[in-house]
């Protein structure tokens, strides 16, 4: 059963070839057998999962037939879940049990999905390798000496090893797309505001966006249709109608205009990764697409702009963790200042502290105009580059990551090298446009992802392109041998 896609498992439930309880037990057994070697889960919710699965079976027996009813999935441990620990990969929230449910998890639960557990992640979503977690690094199922990508690395590893058929993730600067690429999955970051951030623990509020990770574009379309929609509790949630993303998956690609930015294919891109990406684009051309060169002149500024804006917002968002109301509290504080200082220094890891310090500096008196304001101006230039490009093309294509998965520990002592791993993904978040990763080949036995970027609210177009590509290729069907 674990080799089947989410869509295939849904058909099996509808045809009574298996029950939700059988599916859930199968994946729980795989988690127990394989996760000790991967560390992809922080919390496994065995009892509640089986209870939810039994309830889903009752609903189907009573005549309900939703496409997601009874299907299991995992949630990134950044989404609040009532009565279940929500740690955000940090010692600061190691003892935090959420009293309320996030919009994303609530909507998927209402659709009848069964939560298997909460997946490991970089602490407070700050990282590109899933090595900053308080609970230890996650390992890539394709090579356990390598990283799965981050910050949604636990979700990516769990789905890649088929410990779950799908998982949720969040993407602030590439944290769905990059781990999806490094683990041979399909993952999509929708337009900013398409998916509610209510109950999603904030890293950088103007950049964070939730989305699905699964085996195929069809699976992601099913999940995104359920996850999306306006939420009055989230002031950044958009009141745009949500289409049925599965309805347009079969549309033809004849006449599709694909933009290739020269900035995506310059120095720094690994030759094997470029070969896989260009071969994928050639497949799309055979399906009727036309390639057009486009220019994103400010793309190279996305790294410095992002690493001013995101830490600045993080320093504000993380100020709430002070040891007073919830989360980690130091032992025997001498006074209020000691409580604040020791609770935060003990509760936060090195990378989180680094970004808080950078963000606080950028927002401080005398530096705000020089750094934060200037970064916001650059952000507008990056957005304008995309707006101009989408006047001439329908989709922009390129690599997700400059290389395949790097080795554990390889970049932990060099933060700048780690930050540059996101060079092709950051601009998408700064502009707020949708982007996704699609498996497009292997280099040295490691997966490579094709990045597809669309105009605002064009998630359906991206999923359509990815689906038609996956009908022509079989990269997305490959499973790491040890977990097949």
* Residue-wise pLDDT tens digits, 326-337: 999 999 999 999
Told to judge if 128 belongs to the known catalytic residues of this protein, a careful annotator would answer no
Tell me if 51 is assigned to some domain. Answer: yes
Name residues whose C-beta falls within 8 Å of residue 55's C-beta, 6 or more positions apart in sequence.
none
Told to judge if 237 belongs to the known catalytic residues of this protein, a careful annotator would answer no
Q: Is the pLDDT of residue 318 over 90?
A: yes
Residue among 87, 102, 151, 458 flagged as catalytic: 151
Q: What is residue 416's predicted lDDT score, i.e. its pLDDT?
A: 85
Residue among 76, 118, 139, 461 flagged as catalytic: 76
Residue 123's domain spans which residues?
A: 6-256+392-483
Q: What is residue 420's predicted lDDT score, i.e. its pLDDT?
A: 87
| % of the chain exceeding 70 in pLDDT | 100
Q: What is residue 400's predicted lDDT score, i.e. its pLDDT?
A: 98
Q: Is the pLDDT of residue 267 over 90?
A: no
Residue among 175, 237, 302, 437 flagged as catalytic: 175
- Provide the domain count of the chain: 1
Tell me if 61 is assigned to some domain. Answer: yes
Tokens 């963790």 appear where?
321
Instruction: Judge contact between 419 and 426, C-beta under 8 A.
Output: no
Q: What is residue 35's predicted lDDT score, i.e. its pLDDT?
A: 98
CA gap 372, 8 in Å, rounded: 48
Q: What is residue 417's predicted lDDT score, i.e. its pLDDT?
A: 87
How confident is the model over 15-43, as a mean pLDDT? 98
Tell me if 218 is assigned to some domain. Answer: yes
Tell me the torsion sign for CA atoms 194, 198, 202, 205. positive
Told to judge if 151 belongs to the known catalytic residues of this protein, a careful annotator would answer yes
Tell me if 84 is assigned to some domain. Answer: yes
The domain that contains 79 carries what CATH number?
Answer: 3.90.1300.10
Taking only the tens place, the pLDDT of each residue in 370-428 is 999 999 999 999 999 999 999 999 999 999 999 999 999 999 988 888 998 899 999 99
Tell me if 283 is assigned to some domain. Answer: no
Taking only the tens place, the pLDDT of each residue in 96-134 is 999 999 999 999 999 999 999 999 999 999 999 999 999
The pTM of the full predicted model, rounded to 2 decimals, is 0.97
Tell me if 98 is assigned to some domain. Answer: yes
> N- to C-terminal Cα distance for the chain?
11
Instruction: Judge contact between 121 and 75, C-beta under 8 A.
Output: no
Tell me if 46 is assigned to some domain. Answer: yes
Tell me if 233 is assigned to some domain. Answer: yes
Q: Is the pLDDT of residue 452 over 90?
A: yes
């Amino acid at each position: 059963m674990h080799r089947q896609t989410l869509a295939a498992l849904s058909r099996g439930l509808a045809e009574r070839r298996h029950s939700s309880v059988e599916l859930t037990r199968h994946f729980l057994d795989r988690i127990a057998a394989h996760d000790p070697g991967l560390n992809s889960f922080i919390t496994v919710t065995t009892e509640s999962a089986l209870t939810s699965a039994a309830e889903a079976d009752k609903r189907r027996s009573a005549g309900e037939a939703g496409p997601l009813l009874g299907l299991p999935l995992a949630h990134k441990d950044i989404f609040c879940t009532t009565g279940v620990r929500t740690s955000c990969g940090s010692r600061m929230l190691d003892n935090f049990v959420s009293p309320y449910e996030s919009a994303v998890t609530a909507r998927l639960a209402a659709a009848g999905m069964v939560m298997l557990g909460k997946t490991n992640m970089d602490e407070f979503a700050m990282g590109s390798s899933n090595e900053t977690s308080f609970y230890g690094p996650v390992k890539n199922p394709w090579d356990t000496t390598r990283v799965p990508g981050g910050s949604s690395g636990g979700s990516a590893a769990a789905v890649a090893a088929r410990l779950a058929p799908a998982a949720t993730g969040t993407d602030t600067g590439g944290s769905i797309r990059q781990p999806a690429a490094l683990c041979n999955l399909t993952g999509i970051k929708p337009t900013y505001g398409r998916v509610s951030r209510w109950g999603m623990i904030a890293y950088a509020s103007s950049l964070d966006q939730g989305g699905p990770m699964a085996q195929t574009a069809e699976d992601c379309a099913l999940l995104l249709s359920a996850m999306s929609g306006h939420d009055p509790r989230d002031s950044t949630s958009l009141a745009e109608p949500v289409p049925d993303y599965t309805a347009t998956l079969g549309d033809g690609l004849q006449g599709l205009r694909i933009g290739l930015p020269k900035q995506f294919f310059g120095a720094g891109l690994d030759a094997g990764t470029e070969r896989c990406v260009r071969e994928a684009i050639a497949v799309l051309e055979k399906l009727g697409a036309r390639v057009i060169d486009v220019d994103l002149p400010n793309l190279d500024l996305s790294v410095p702009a992002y690493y001013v804006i995101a830490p600045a917002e993080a320093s504000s968002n993380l100020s709430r963790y002070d040891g007073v109301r919830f989360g980690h509290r130091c032992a025997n504080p001498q006074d209020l200042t000691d409580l604040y200082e020791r609770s935060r220094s003990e509760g936060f890891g090195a990378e989180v502290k680094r970004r808080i310090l950078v963000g606080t500096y950028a927002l401080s008196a005398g530096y705000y105009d020089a750094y934060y304001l200037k970064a916001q101006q650059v952000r507008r230039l990056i957005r304008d580059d995309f707006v101009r490009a989408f006047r001439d093309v329908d989709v922009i294509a390129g690599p997700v990551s400059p290389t395949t998965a790097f080795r554990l520990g390889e970049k932990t002592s060099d933060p700048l090298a780690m930050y540059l791993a996101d060079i092709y993904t950051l601009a998408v978040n700064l502009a707020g446009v949708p982007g996704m990763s699609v498996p497009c080949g292997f280099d040295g036995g490691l997966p490579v992802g094709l990045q597809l970027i669309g105009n605002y609210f064009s998630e359906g177009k991206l999923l359509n392109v990815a689906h038609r590509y996956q009908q022509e290729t079989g990269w997305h069907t490959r499973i790491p041998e040890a977990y097949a």
